Amino acid sequence: MLKKGVWATAISLCACAAAFAQGTTSRILGTVQDPTGSVVPGAAVKLVNEGTRVTFSTTTSAAGTYVFEAVQPASYEIDVEAAGFRRFASRGNQVTIGQPATVNVKLEVGAVTEQLVVEASAEVVQTSTSGNYGNLVSRQAVMDLPIVGSRGRNPLDLVLTQPGVVSGAPTGGGIYVHGARDRSWNYTLDGIDINDSSQGGSNSTSFRPNPDMLEEFRVITGNNTAEYGRNSGGQVAMVIRSGSNQIHRRVTKDPCPGSVASVAATGFLPDINGLVDAGARSCANG
């Protein structure tokens, strides 16, 4: 009986760990070849987060392949070393939520002290996965696109820009995707469920993330893969920014919360000294 209890506990813990990582990470994979196209087994491969310099290491298999699982969204550098070849470095490879990045490497003959550097060599056409119809809403989009409504800054308003998403459901007037119920959305933040069954629509989850805290989010409107589920409508997987080795600052001013003028006045100011803009003055004048 005790043995069964131990196994049940272990299975529960594994399930929780899988749930926490649901749809918030990705993978980087590829094949290492020599100039003739033959695979290079046993090559040392390093994955370096360009923002934090956190490094992960592996070696290529007998088939010359490598893979890094559970990779957080960020920009990465791939370094490859093998005896008899020049060191290879690929920089600026962007990894996004649930979208695998393939970086294939072709080594050149030479001393390992020599280096070949390429920029953003990840494949543009996605061949490593299928399904998950939808789009990524990047941090730059959240920063630049208008997200100010009568109830403040809500990045989830950008869900309405996705194909198949319609505002004004026949039942309840909420937001729905491809005819699914407006209460059929599934929201996760860093893999954690933030749904509220008492609310419908894509922009009314109880937890409304501050747009400055988001790294990015992916909106999936159909053909979900196994890591997504729970609801039959759209999936919104959000990831919080993890920070980097550089200091950043950001100031947002809303002089008249909830007013029409606040929509024009609220923005992202280039410096913290210019806190009064034309929108704020128009609001003050009436």
> What is the structure's pLDDT at 195?
80
CATH number attached to the domain at 133-248 = 2.170.130.10
The answer to whether the beta carbons of residues 48 and 79 sit under 8 Å apart is yes
The burial class, CB within 10 Å (0-12 / 13-18 / 19+), for 85 is buried
For the chain, what are the domain ranges? 25-119, 133-248
Q: Which two tokens stand for residue 279?
A: 């929108």
- Quick one: which of 28, 24, 76, 11 has its CA closest to 241? 24
Phi then psi dihedrals of residue 120, to 5 deg? 45, 65
What's the whole-number mean pLDDT along residues 6-12? 46
What is the C-alpha separation between 185 and 43, in angstroms, rounded?
Answer: 44
The answer to whether the beta carbons of residues 175 and 169 sit under 8 Å apart is yes
- pLDDT tens digits, one per residue of 146-193: 876 656 778 888 888 888 888 876 665 678 888 787 778 888 888 888
CATH class for the region spanning 25-119? mainly beta
- Quick one: which of 209, 175, 179, 204 has its CA closest to 192? 209
Q: Mapping DSSP to helix (H, G, I), strand (E, B) and coil, where does residue 210 land?
A: coil
What is the C-alpha separation between 233 and 252, in angstroms, rounded?
Answer: 33
Query: Could you tell me the CA-to-CA distances from 124 to 10, 60, 79, 108, 128 in Å, in that order?
Result: 40, 23, 20, 23, 11
Amino acid 42 reads G
- pLDDT tens digits, one per residue of 193-249: 888 766 655 555 777 788 888 888 999 888 877 777 777 788 888 998 877 666 666
